[in-house]
Amino acid sequence: MSERLAVGIDVGGTKIAGGVVDEDGRVVARARRATPTTDPTAVLDAITEIVAEFRAQYVVRAVGVGAAGYVDVTGSTVVFSPHLAWRNEPLRDALVRRTALPVLVDNDANAAGWAEWRFGAAQNHPDVVMVNLGTGIGGAMVLDGRLYRGHSGMAGEFGHQRVVEDGRPCPCGNRGCWEQYASGRVLQRRASAAVAEGSDIGRALVDLAGTPEQVDGTTVGRLAMAGDEEAIAWVGDVGRWLGIGLANLAAALDPGIFVIGGGVSENGEALLRPARHAFADHLTGRGYRSEARIVAAHLGNDAGLVGAADLARLRARRRRLASPGYSVRGPAVARSDRRRRRRSR
């Protein structure tokens, strides 16, 4: 059993989700903490606590962390996070010291994309682009069956492509980024303004959430699912911008399938239908090329931690196979071989 288990940690802007994951992508145990967004050491403490909690009950081989930020190509340092206080944070080495386990750190969207390719909506598709719609937009590419990280390890930050000249300011420092028009932040912003104005939809949102403070982007989605026409239009507008951005990505990457994940994807066809229409309207070479499928992710909120655990387990296994004295016949046989060689000297 110990060969099969790894810990996956998904660090987002609001929560840290952890799980013990087996080699088939099943989550056998879970834990959760709020994300201390302004204190990198507190984030490290929370991850360490989750790993210790799991190790009290399970034997695990490795720890994988999906981090909401730019991770360098070595998988050791979170160079920058627009939504957290990480700046050149040596996360992998710090966790290795604390846990004494092999640790892999990758971008959270990379982890989610890998999970959907291995276990979810994109199985058996060689060229996949994952787009995660949450507080911002993250992305991942599995090309020819390999996770593509780019020259510096920072590929897939689709949310920070600029789609509107001198548009809305973004936490990354630029203006007009895609995630300012096609993410959960958009629904949150519109909901907050409606509540402050006391409009009909603002009052409906408060009634649904309970209090004004509890109204967020997910409340808009719930209202849309209940049939409110204005909420449906808001979700559809996010979907339209999503489709425009996907058409840009298709022009560069030409994948066979786009997988849409993250919390906003829970709006289902209210989001994806207008995205598909906008994609078809803006696709370069439309009418003379095949169109990529646009589908919802299958693994939901588990994708990041499942992918991080699987990547960590696979890397740890490769390193064990490459270590001196390791035999493909198994560690026990390899130890026996070494004892025989010593006796023959």
Terminal CA-CA length for the chain: 36
Query: What are the tokens at 146?
Result: 């390999």
> Span 136-148, mean pLDDT?
92
Pair 39, 90 in one domain: yes
The domain that holds 253 is classified in CATH as: 3.30.420.40
Range of the domain at 50: 6-113+301-322
Q: In whole angstroms, what is the distance from residue 256 CA to residue 107 CA?
A: 22
pLDDT band at residue 126 using 50, 70 and 90 as cut-offs: very high
CB 131 within 8 A of CB 246: yes
Indicate whether 309 belongs to any domain.
yes
pLDDT band at residue 325 using 50, 70 and 90 as cut-offs: low
Is the pLDDT confidence value at 238 over 90?
Answer: yes
CB 260 within 8 A of CB 271: yes
Pair 293, 153 in one domain: yes
Indicate whether 118 belongs to any domain.
no
Please write the tens of the pLDDT for every residue from 195-220. 999 999 999 999 999 999 999 999 99
Q: How many domains is the chain partitioned into structurally?
A: 2
Rg (CA), the chain: 22
Q: In whole angstroms, what is the distance from residue 303 CA to residue 128 CA?
A: 15
Please write the tens of the pLDDT for every residue from 251-301. 999 999 999 998 899 999 999 999 999 999 999 999 889 999 999 999 998
Pair 150, 198 in one domain: yes
Pair 90, 24 in one domain: yes
Please write the tens of the pLDDT for every residue from 158-196. 999 999 999 999 988 899 999 999 999 999 999 999 999
Pair 36, 147 in one domain: no
Query: What are the tokens at 194?
Result: 């409606």
Angle between helix axes 184-197 and 229-253 (nearest 10 degrees) is: 160
Please write the tens of the pLDDT for every residue from 29-82. 999 999 887 889 999 999 999 999 999 999 999 999 999 888 998 889 999 887
Pair 145, 291 in one domain: yes
Average pLDDT, the chain: 90
Q: In whole angstroms, what is the distance from residue 292 CA to residue 285 CA?
A: 13
Question: Residue 331 has what pLDDT?
Answer: 39
**Greater model confidence, 240 or 81:** 240
